[in-house]
Amino acid sequence: MRRLFAGRTLIVGVLAALTLSACGTGEPESSATGGSGGLEKSALTIGVVAVPDAAPIQIALDRGFFKEEGLDVKISVEVGGAAATPKLVAGQLDAMLGNYVALFLAQQAGAGKFKVVADSYQAAPDNFVIMAKGDNAAINTAADLAGKKIAVNTLNAIGTLAVTATAKVAGVTINEKEQYVAMPLPEMGAALETGTVDAIWVAEPFISANAKAGAKKVADSMAGPLENFPIAGWVMTDKFTSENPKTVAAFQRALAKAQTLAASDRKVVEEALPKYTKIDAATAAVIALGTYSTSLSEARLQRVADTLTEYGMIPAGFDVKALMAPAAPAQ
């Protein structure tokens, strides 16, 4: 257990150190000039991963919810939450869609102080799956992952937790240092085909794309212990939220409208997906989607913390309340 904590602390600590050395203070700068409608800052850059989890940000843009609040929002597509976190700390991003696993690890390791300003996405069946080459007779179930090279989009994040948990249920212990290979989601299909890796952990649109190319599903990584697992939320630094409360509240109000639409009308999500992902309209109409959250729940965040403790990724007693930003006041 101590080795696990020490290893992860070192990894995230290195990220923090690199960010600090590159950016001086390591904290985002806050605009003190004031923005539209009395906002402290009106122009925001939001980091997202090009997967369905981030649909509400596109919906809010399309429906003009941000403009109604005086915000000028731009999307920056990132490789993953773990890779985007140093950019958030450095102020290159004002907010990001962060997967809770990477976020909690970064907070625990002291890589930054963060606030979840809104919940976003919860897993559903077949949202995140493990795949292998269709003609690979050696890998058919999670029990066959012992000793195999497995691609995930970032290390020490939701992908590694999901695969580790899925394998454990099948009686397999994953050697994280030797088996996990970090690579961008779009590159995983080629790596699978050439044998660089034996299996891949993917979300849409890459599930459908790799299935069309001949890959097969090995396991649903969000079944069993991670069924309906909280995946991601909208994250800012603690410093940004404390220095820009009006901006944060405006962002929360706009996003709340979008989250509610996404939760209640699949068609709205389908229309948004092709605009920031490589999911075409036909694929958007049939892919499995998770649940879009409409409230920030301490219980859901606590489940993430408890699961990470169970797998030795953070110590017991992690304070999820410290991560929760106050809800936006009614306007």
pLDDT tens-digit readout, 24-36: 333 333 333 334 5
pLDDT at 25: 35
Residue 109 burial (C-beta neighbours within 10 Å; 0-12, 13-18, 19+): buried
Ranges of residues in the chain whose predicted pLDDT is under 70: 1-37, 81
Structural contact between residues 206 and 189, judged by C-beta atoms closer than 8 angstroms: yes
Q: Where are the alpha helices (DSSP H) in 145-277?
A: 158-169, 176-179, 188-194, 206-212, 238-243, 245-264, 266-276
pLDDT of residue 79: 79
Instruction: Give residue-wise pLDDT tens across range 117-156.
Output: 999 999 999 989 999 999 999 999 999 999 999 999 988 8
Amino acid type, 55: A
Q: Which helix (H) or strand (E) holds 230?
A: strand 230-237
User: What is the structure's pLDDT at 36?
Assistant: 52
**Which pLDDT score, from 0 to 100, does residue 154 have?**
87
Measured between alpha carbons, how far is 86 from 15 in angstroms, rounded to an integer? 7
Specify the pLDDT at position 19.
Answer: 34
115, β-bridge pairs: 236
- Domains, the chain, with CATH or none: 2-124+228-323 (3.40.190.10), 128-226 (3.40.190.10)
Q: What is the pLDDT of residue 37?
A: 61
